[in-house]
Amino acid sequence: MMKYTWKIGALFMLAILAMSTITDDNNRYFQISKNIEIFTNLYKEINTHYVDDLDPARLMRTGLDAMLESLDPYTNYISETEIERFRYITDGKYNGIGAQIRQIGEDVTITQSYADCPAQKAGLRAGDVLIEIDGQSAKGKSADDVSNILKGFPGTEVMLTINRPGTPAPMKVTLVRDEVLVPNVPYQGMVSNDIGYFALTTFTREAGKNVGNALKTLKAENPNLKGIIFDLRGNGGGLLTEAVNVSNVFIPKGELVVTTKGKVVDWDRSFKTLNQPIDADIPLIVLIDKGSASASEIVSGVLQDLDRGVLLGQRSYGKGLVQNTKDVGYNSKVKMTTAKYYIPSGRCIQGVEYEDGEPKDIPDDERQAFKTRNGRKVLDGGGVAPDVKLKKGANEDIVEELEDKFVIFDYVTQFVAGKEEIEDPKTFNFTEFDAFLNFVAQNKFEYETKTEKALKALKTSAEKQGLSDEMKAELTALETVVVNSKKQDLEKNKSTIINLIEKDIASRFHFQKGKIEVGLKNDPEIKEAIRILGDPTEYAKLLGN
């Protein structure tokens, strides 16, 4: 009798739980339905009765962007006009003219063209300012507006009117659009007698195949090859499957690379390598920095967790999230975060806090410890920490400002005006730093350091609380020290600035390949990687062997 009563009680409890689940689901669906109806009614009323005429598409886009912005920086709406850009991010190709354009002041300017693409074939150069497109003025248009106009079906023509620095009159150039393929492995070569190098710029389709081919080529052409430097600096990621394929170039078949876990349990997956590696033993150093994110962090983290290679540089970005896209009608999509990923040690390197869209730095003592295959300590959260940490230049503030305000770009545009060629990028040297300093002075370049910003905030706060004369004098003295220190910043960062100038000059004539070649000879991280690979004892010690 008791056994029978227990069964009835269990069935009763299951029924209550089922009813509770159904009630929760019904309530959630009601909330969704109710709020969609409210949103629709509000959108209709504003478009019908608001005092000024509105652009319905722009109003909706504002609402969509605001809604998704409240989630995370990686969940975005992709409209029909942005599909070509999305295609470039995933496939590394798009239909257009093969040039990057940016807004510099009030002008839309070409900042880079790609080798063997319509822009380069038609003679367009970095620094050319777009005046008209098919007879229509480009004035007042944003870089995104112009970029969308320049994209189009292969074989179609577009006529541009440009102003070229150093040329007295506007020039008309006719281009024929084509499919533009931007290589994700733009360079491979030797950086010493027995050390090879290649860079991967993005994890678009066939990234694994192209990295594998680069390694095969280096091995075939250099029988004495003793080590590889694999450059992932500035690589913001891409396709998860390509992260697995790139890892597979260096690690054996059947190794776990990454596991994804999200709210929808049926979508959780584990990804293992499927093929035999190109070389699972050759000594390997991976270069990373704060611009290495997502798929770059999977690859570098996997190679670290499996003690397959030494990581060198700076801590990576800290993006441990997975995005998937869903069609939402009218050839538009939503790219949304659906899971977190975990690498072989079990850690997730996602930064847990954001500030101005960037992950905040997490102190090591607040990060959970895990172990590599050889028992080395590694940490979760806030990116992948390199095994060999190297500092960047003396003052990143001024270098970032020079780039953000296009000071170096504008100087190089002036420098190359009238030049048809430079010497081999591998041996090219820029020797006119004084001329650059004069250019900076003539253009009245000013910048504000992070220290200055912090001092201003402190001064404002102190004034609100009643700034004493003594404190006021101390803050003023500190400001003077900072201002005087800034005057020496250009000289302090001379080598870094010259390196950036040389890379920009080389890219004007030899595109991505030249930019990489000229940068390799000045790169302290390359030099340190070569040194470590030349010392098998130190290399083994870094991997815990």
Tokens of 428: 């090219």
Alpha-carbon gap, residue 184 to 187, rounded angstroms:
9
Helix and strand tally (H, E) in the chain?
17, 23
The single residue of 231, 289, 305, 387 carrying the catalytic annotation is 305
Alpha-carbon gap, residue 305 to 344, rounded angstroms:
6
Are the C-beta atoms of 73 and 360 separated by less than 8 Å? no
Tokens of 121: 């074939």
Alpha-carbon gap, residue 383 to 319, rounded angstroms:
7
Q: Is 316 an active-site residue?
A: no
Alpha-carbon gap, residue 347 to 304, rounded angstroms:
12
Q: Is 521 an active-site residue?
A: no
Q: Which residues contact 289 (CB under 8 A, 6 or more apart)?
A: 233, 234, 313, 314, 316, 392
What is the distance in angstroms between the CA of the first residue and the CA of the last residue of the chain?
A: 66
Q: How far is CA 82 from CA 148, 340, 504, 538, in A?
A: 8, 26, 28, 49
Q: CA angle at residue 278 from 273 to 279, to 5 degrees?
A: 105
Q: Which residues contact 42 (CB under 8 A, 6 or more apart)?
A: none
Please choose, from the candidates 73, 60, 53, the residue with its C-alpha nearest in 3D space to the C-alpha of residue 353. Answer: 73
The single residue of 151, 231, 289, 319 carrying the catalytic annotation is 319
Please choose, from the candidates 287, 305, 126, 293, the residue with its C-alpha nearest in 3D space to the C-alpha of residue 195. Answer: 287
269: exposed, middle or buried (Cβ count in 10 Å: 0-12, 13-18, 19+): middle
> In 189-239, which ranges are continuous DSSP H helix?
207-221
The single residue of 147, 294, 300, 345 carrying the catalytic annotation is 294
545: exposed, middle or buried (Cβ count in 10 Å: 0-12, 13-18, 19+): exposed
Alpha-carbon gap, residue 363 to 352, rounded angstroms:
12
Q: Is 33 an active-site residue?
A: no
Q: How do beta strands 107-113 and 99-104 pair?
A: antiparallel
Neighbours of 395 (CB within 10 A): 18
Please choose, from the candidates 137, 140, 143, the residue with its C-alpha nearest in 3D space to the C-alpha of residue 163. Answer: 137
Alpha-carbon gap, residue 162 to 441, rounded angstroms:
28
Residues known to be catalytic: 294, 305, 319
